[in-house]
Amino acid sequence: MDEEYSISQLCISISPFAAYNTFRYLSCFYRTDSNNNLRNPCWSNVKMKINKGIKVRIYPNKQQQELLNKTFGCCRFLHNKMLEERRTVYDTLKEEKDHLYAHKYKTEKQYKKEFPFLSEVDSKALQSETRNLLQAFQNFFRGIRTGKKIGYPKFKSKKKKQTYTTYNINNNIRINHKAKRIKLPKIGWVKYRDDRNVVHPIKHVTVSRTRTNKYYVAIIIEVEIDVEPITTIPLHRIEAFDMSAPNFLINENLELTNPRFYRNQERKLKRLHKLESRKQKGSKNREKARLRLARGYEKIQNQKMDWTHKLTHSLSNQFDAIILEDLNIQGMQQFNSGLSKSVTLDFSWYQFISYLRYKLEWQGKPLVLVDRFFPSSKRCSVCGQINNDLQLSKRTWTCQCGATHHRDVNASTNIKEEGLQILHDQGITIINDNHATVGTTESHASGDYVRPALAGSGQGRRNPLAFRQW
């Protein structure tokens, strides 16, 4: 009997960054087996709609800067007022659940009547701020129900980065490419600098001001692209890496060291911190020192972003499938506080995986994340024996079979083997250099089983000798 087909909606959210701000939605058909597990795709190509963000710097004049700053302030004021109201109502009615759930909170229109200065800015920006706060509460309560750690909404500070979002209604947001101007509601035509042409309809824009007093606009457009999913992958086009603090990425063929963007500037930043602390609060010299310090951190952020984009672009074009380990970054930081500078300041593993995921997905290529509990470092890649006594400080170790391993290289070999098994379970055909289909073999005599996970699915099973013949 023919296998049934089911629809699976994939939604991947990419956080905002300098070149792109991407939220992708993909609806497609998948083949299922008798256990209703997803198998290989049954389509040849897919029409994929994505929301692509083009972030450009704008140069408003003094009057426009005042209007932008007023909009930032009004959105921040409305956010804090609504959050304060909800906290006050909860503290008052937390013992009376029926009254608490039935309470009607003020809308932005009611706040406008109470505070007339809110009517001086873009109304869509205020509505967007309301939706964002409601979404933050929904995420918080969903985290409580599912057991995920999602923080309670916080008050916005004037000292941090300022943003607001407004929507394109009746073509009130448009671009003049020849004059290099963009029209924003209530602001007017603003000069920008960018060579990319926006030919697709604009959905909405997010205006931001950094701590260095630079203004940017993220233009969100909807683009439809054709994606041809890869169902057959040559073995040499599949690569796996182990991620560690000393070596950002490493396997038997490649060793990419930690870029150390923060550590290279650490002494300079300490000096700038001292200079700022010695200035009188509220003085112009204090503001100048703050700007110098903010520019130092902004430089590090731009270096990390540029390096990550170039690396993920190169990897996504060079390989048809990439296998990584799903690391628990927060848990690693709690276990070893010395890793904080490496995994959050020198580089960002989460940012790297996010960029790599959407760039592979746009080309129909899979990203496989092996389960974090898979013993990649402790398992011998030759015989499969697991060394439970292996300490984190040992970079090389010798197995009972006589094989000597470098810890990270051995881990990358095991990660690749596990990822190949997961790709095979997905229904993706893997061929060797002789164009022969490669299959699986029997498992180890030890019978050790570990449950791996597909990227975003949490499904899979362990077969230690899978693809051992390679």
**Hey, where are the domains in the chain?**
57-226
For position 372, what pLDDT does the model report?
Answer: 85
76 Rama sector, left if φ>0, alpha if ψ -120 to 50, beta otherwise: alpha
Q: How confident is the model at residue 436 (pLDDT cuts 50, 70, 90)?
A: low
The whole-number pLDDT of residue 456 equals: 36
Mean pLDDT of 313-340: 80
Is pLDDT larger for residue 374 or for residue 457?
Answer: 374
More confident residue, 187 or 441: 187
Q: Quote the pTM value.
A: 0.77
CA dist., res. 327 & res. 97, Å (int): 40
> How far apart are the C-alpha atoms of 217 and 192, rounded to whole Å?
9
Cα–Cα distance for residue pair 319/460, rounded to 1 Å: 23
CB under 8 Å to 52, separation ≥6 — which residues?
A: 20, 21, 22, 220, 221, 222, 223
Residue 297 confidence (pLDDT): 94
pLDDT digits (tens, 9 = 90+) for 55-110: 999 999 999 999 999 999 999 999 999 999 999 999 888 888 888 888 899 988 99
The reported pLDDT for the residue numbered 396 is: 86
Q: 44 falls in which pLDDT band (50, 70, 90)? A: low
pLDDT in tens, 347-367: 888 889 999 999 998 888 999
- Contact between 367 and 239 (Cβ < 8 Å): no
Percent of the chain with pLDDT over 90: 45
The active-site residue out of 122, 129, 239, 242 is 242
Give the H or E element holding residue 277: helix 261-277
pLDDT, residue 339, reads 67
User: Would residue 448 show up in a list of annotated catalytic residues for this protein?
Assistant: no
Q: Which of 325, 361, 371, 417 is catalytic?
A: 325
What one-character DSSP code corresponds to residue 182? E
Residue 132: the pLDDT is: 94
- Comparing CA positions, the residue from 451, 391, 458 lying closest to residue 418 is 451
- Indicate the pLDDT class of residue 47, thresholds 50, 70 and 90: confident
Is residue 242 part of the annotated active site? The answer reads yes
For residues 368 and 423, the answer to whether their CB atoms sit within 8 Å is yes
pLDDT in tens, 249-293: 888 888 888 888 998 999 999 999 999 999 999 999 999 999 999
Q: Average pLDDT, whole number, for the chain? A: 81
How many Cα atoms within 13 Å fall on the side-chain side of residue 429?
7
Residue 16: partners with Cβ closer than 8 Å, 6 or more residues away = 53, 55, 206, 218
| Neighbour tally for 428: CB within 10 Å | 22
| Owner of token pair 């596990």 | 418
Kindly list the distances between the CA atom of residue 115 and the CA atoms of 58, 192, 275, in Å, as whole numbers in the listed order.
30, 33, 40
Task: Return the pLDDT at 180.
Answer: 93
Residue 256's CB: how many other CB atoms inside 10 A? 13
Which pLDDT belongs to residue 2?
39
460, 454 contact by CB (below 8 A): yes
Listed in sequence order, the residues at least 6 apart from 309 whose beta carbon sits closer than 8 Å to its beta carbon are: 18, 19, 355
- HEC per residue, 50-112: EEEEEEEEEECCHHHHHHHHHHHHHHHHHHHHHHHHHHHHHHHHCCCHHHHHHCCCCCHHHHH
Catalytic residue among 346, 408, 417, 425: 408
- Residue range 32-39: mean pLDDT, rounded: 40
* Portion of the chain with pLDDT greater than 70, in percent: 80
- Give the per-residue pLDDT at 403: 86
Return the minimum-mean-pLDDT range out of 160-169, 203-212, 267-276, 402-411: 402-411
Over 80: is that where the pLDDT of 328 sits? Answer: no
43: alpha, beta or left, given left = phi > 0 and alpha = psi -120 to 50?
A: beta
Strands 215-227 and 202-209: antiparallel
Position 24 scores a pLDDT of 35
pLDDT value of position 58: 96
How high is the pLDDT of residue 336?
64
Query: Which residues contact residue 80 at a Cβ distance below 8 angstroms, ignoring those fewer than 6 apart?
Result: 155, 156
pLDDT of residue 231: 84
